[in-house]
Structure 1
Amino acid sequence: MNKKTVNHRSLSIIAGISYLIIFFSAVFANFFVIASIQNEPLVTLQENQLMVRLGIMAFLLTVVFDVVVAWALQKLYHDHVLSSLSTYFRLMHAAIMGVSVYAIVECLSLSSEVEIIKHIDTFNTIWLIGLFFFGFHLILLGQILKRPLLISIFLIIAGCMYIIDTGAHFLLSDYKKYSSIFILLVAIPSVIGEMALAIWLLAKKDRIK
């Protein structure tokens, strides 16, 4: 095993672990913290402020490791013509996510439910815009990977769904009527594709070509 192969293996492990950190951090921050604030704004911020602060840190962790994943994947596939473009889209996504977290920080000093929900809506809108660019990253990543074919297909589908979902938010005045359908269309391919990619990166032993 030569030095270059070892380097590729190290980058694969870094990308895989970073993906898992992103996944679990985002699940905690979105489905526990944000969901709690939306259901009980004042109670959450007054009685569970530590959880909210941990949620903020969890979101920041997703931003940090998003950059790490972008870097690792660019190094792994630097020879591919689409690699740099894919990296730029992911970095745009990370930057927008980082900005969106400020809206949650502002909630810590608010005492009005209306204002809190307004800030959370602002966070969700900015986050949604970030996912639009993330969708292009996934489509390009699916083209770059090529194999395993099934993972590439799920990544491309997930990317398309992110773009379609963001567009639907802004184009459909009655989006809420179809929100549960869109959530499933985004969640299923993205969870399968990205988790499968993380596991594949961690399990793969030979050099990625």
Structure 2
Amino acid sequence: MLTPSDTTRRTAVRVAGAGYVALFVLAIFANFVVKQGIVDPADAEATVAAIRAQEWLFRVGIAAFVLVFLIDVPVAWGLYVLFVPAGRARSLLAAWFRIVYTVFLGVGAVFMFLGLQIATGDFALGEQQAMLMLAAFDVAWYVGLIAFGVHLMLLGDIIIRSRIAPRFIGIVLAVAGCAYAADTLVHILVADYAAVADLMLAIVAIPSIVAELTFTIWLLLAGRRSSAVTRDDLIERTDVASPGRPLARETSGL
């Protein structure tokens, strides 16, 4: 089985780098500016009033989530191609977990749109039904985030083992993945999540910002150099080495 060509890997790292930048901007806008800025889980009446008053902004926020849903697909492809030399099976598994997260985000965007339709009076339903749809968005996203956490853990493990990227990036990605997964489990298992919300925000936000920002910078800058493998690296390899047969030489990081 052949690894991707040098040209394909260069394209992949550029797609992943540009995608990460777009995801960073869109996700911050959609989640923190729009959703958290408009939706108050404790006040249905105020939330519905805010959605009606800022309907255009809310629609733009939904569109941003949909763009995140779409962009995540080529990003998953780019990361898969980039890290194939570290093991096709492991790289494919990491990509699949990212796709699973992406699908759940798309489902969440549907719930958010239904909440908008109810809040603006397109359906003959009340404020509580609108809040239920917005809460369903949260649940779908949280379930997706546990898959995203596994994706980051697998990606971190690939980087640590292969050294295709600096080992530090692999470590912080794995830590961020654990934090995402833990936060989802706490949401499910703890009845009063609000009591630990600030603590969990710090646990998730710090490693995830450090990890994904560092990884994005590496993809944009050093990733292009590390994707420039020689022809000797583009040889047949298996996902697991046969007894007595060493794996093909890995590409180096920085």
1:11 & 1:116 partners in 2: Cα distance? Answer: 40
* Matching residue of 1:47: 53
TM-score, structure 2 normalization: 0.77
**2:31 matched residue in structure 1:** 30
Partner of 1:98: 106
Match of 1:179 among 190, 197, 200: 197
Deviations 1:57-90 (A, max 9, x none): 1001111111111000111112314111111111
Larger Rg: 2
| Equivalent in the alignment of 1:191 | 209
**1:36–1:44 CA contact under 8 A, matched in 2:** no
1:130 matches 2:144: yes
Q: Secondary structure at the match of 1:173?
A: coil
Partner of 2:116: 108
* Residues 72, 102 of structure 2: 8 Å contact kept: yes
Percent of paired sites with the same residue? 33
The answer to whether the 8 A contact 1:19-1:198 is kept is yes
- RMSD after superposition: 1.6
Structure 1 runs of 4+ aligned residues shifted over 4 Å read: none
Unaligned runs of 5+ in 1: none
Q: Which has the higher helix share?
A: 1
Offset at 1:155?
A: 0.4
Aligned length: 207
In 2, Cα distance between equivalents of 1:56 and 1:91: 19
* Maintained 8 Å contact 2:38/2:50: yes
Per-residue deviation at 1:193?
0.5
SS in 2 for 1:57: helix
Give 1:34 shift: 0.8
For structure 2, list consecutive stretches of 5 or more residues without a partner in the other structure: 41-45, 120-125, 228-250
Does 1:12 find its partner at 2:13?
A: yes
